[in-house]
């Protein structure tokens, strides 16, 4: 059986999952999305992801058209019909079909689709040996223009930075604020460890409030590892004892070199390794059951 996609109330084969060229999600990036993971027959932190989806939609005055509980069933139904227990889930709500103008009032009904499939963002060796990443010259959009807490379909800012990373054969790039502070990476949040204190940039600088980021902060508290949101610069990256990235697709992945400088010993650190282990254990036991 081929992959089935949920599209506006129907399950359709992958090759027939199509939306209108007049959809404002395509024309203008007008819409919101979530990336969610299922592990061992459970959807990890589904409530948190759906709440963020609906908050993002509310922030841009987008009515999702169905209740949050119904949206949860959309995710679970799509996983069931594809007989998946371990999967990456992409849930998308666009403004819907309208005319060629910007006015969202011309879009009477949102488009909803849900894709459930496999994902492997980084090779396994990166989790053992660590990433080598770079700083992009492309800066984060200022929060006053588009608040980073809105997980919108327009990722062009991050794509431009990702292109810079690719030109340097790096898998990921750090993005700075207009004032030169570390915000996040193109698709991941970032943490550093210095003197046994974990630090991650606050969301008001232009970082997404990542679900995996929040899980790591919880795990740090459980393990009595001091952790706080704090503004820092590239100097703090270069002089950190450890560094790692977090994200739904990436999970928790160590960083061992930034802009040519080795971080700490140049190998994944003890705290990073501990948090990776704790995170993997949590994903196998926590979540909404699919079946």
In which residue are the tokens 């060629």 written?
100
Pairing of β 131-135 and β 173-176: parallel
> How many residues does the structure list for the chain?
291
- Predicted confidence at residue 191, as pLDDT, reads 98
pLDDT averaged over the chain?
96
Q: For residues 284 and 278, is the Cβ–Cβ distance under 8 A?
A: no
Q: Give pLDDT tens digits for 174-215.
A: 999 999 999 999 999 999 999 999 999 999 998 999 999 999
pLDDT score of 1 more than 80: no
Residue 267: phi and psi, rounded to 5, are: -130, 160
For the question of residue 151 being annotated catalytic, the response is yes
- Predicted confidence at residue 115, as pLDDT, reads 98
Tokens of 48: 């948190």
Q: Identify the active-site residue in 4, 140, 151, 162.
A: 151
Q: Give pLDDT tens digits for 19-75.
A: 999 999 999 999 999 999 999 999 999 999 999 999 999 999 999 999 999 999 999
Residue 116, beta-bridge partner list: 89
pLDDT score of 121 more than 90: no
Cβ neighbours of residue 60 under 8 Å, at least 6 residues apart? 30, 32, 150, 152
The angle at the Cα of 148, spanning 146 to 150, to the nearest 5 degrees, equals: 80
Domains and CATH numbers, the chain: 4-117 (3.30.470.10), 124-283 (3.20.10.10)
Residue 290: phi and psi, rounded to 5, are: -80, -40
pTM: 0.96
In which residue are the tokens 């689709």 written?
113
Q: Give pLDDT tens digits for 70-79.
A: 999 999 999 9
- How far apart, in Å, are the Cα atoms of 280 and each of 40, 100, 227? 11, 46, 20
Burial-class residue 62 by CB neighbours within 10 Å (0-12, 13-18, 19+): buried
């Amino acid at each position: 059986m081929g992959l089935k996609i949920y599209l506006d109330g129907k399950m359709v084969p992958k090759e027939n999952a199509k939306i209108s060229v007049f959809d404002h999600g395509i024309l203008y990036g007008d819409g919101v999305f979530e990336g969610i993971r299922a592990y061992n027959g459970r959807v990890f932190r589904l409530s948190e992801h759906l709440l963020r989806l609906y908050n993002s939609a509310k922030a841009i005055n987008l009515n999702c058209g169905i209740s949050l509980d119904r949206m949860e069933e959309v995710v679970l139904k799509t996983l069931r019909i594809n007989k998946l227990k371990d999967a990456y889930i992409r849930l998308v709500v666009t403004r819907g079909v309208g005319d060629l103008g910007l006015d969202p009032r011309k879009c009477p009904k949102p488009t909803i689709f849900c894709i459930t499939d496999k994902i492997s963002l980084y090779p396994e060796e990166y989790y053992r040996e660590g990433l080598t990443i770079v700083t992009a010259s492309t800066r984060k959009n200022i929060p006053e223009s588009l608040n980073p807490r809105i997980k919108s379909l327009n990722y062009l800012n991050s794509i431009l930075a990702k292109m810079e990373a690719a030109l340097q054969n790096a898998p990921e790039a750090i993005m700075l604020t207009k004032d030169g502070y570390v915000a996040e990476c193109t698709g991941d949040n970032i943490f550093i460890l210095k003197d046994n204190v974990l630090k991650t940039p606050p969301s008001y600088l232009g970082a997404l409030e990542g679900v995996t980021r929040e899980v790591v902060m919880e795990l740090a508290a459980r393990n009595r590892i001091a952790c706080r949101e704090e503004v820092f610069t590239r100097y703090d990256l270069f002089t950190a004892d450890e560094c790692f990235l977090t994200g739904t697709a990436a999970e928790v992945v160590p960083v061992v070199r930034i802009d040519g400088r080795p971080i700490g010993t140049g190998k994944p650190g003890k705290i990073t390794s501990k948090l990776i282990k704790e995170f993997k254990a949590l994903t196998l036991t926590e979540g909404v059951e699919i079946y």
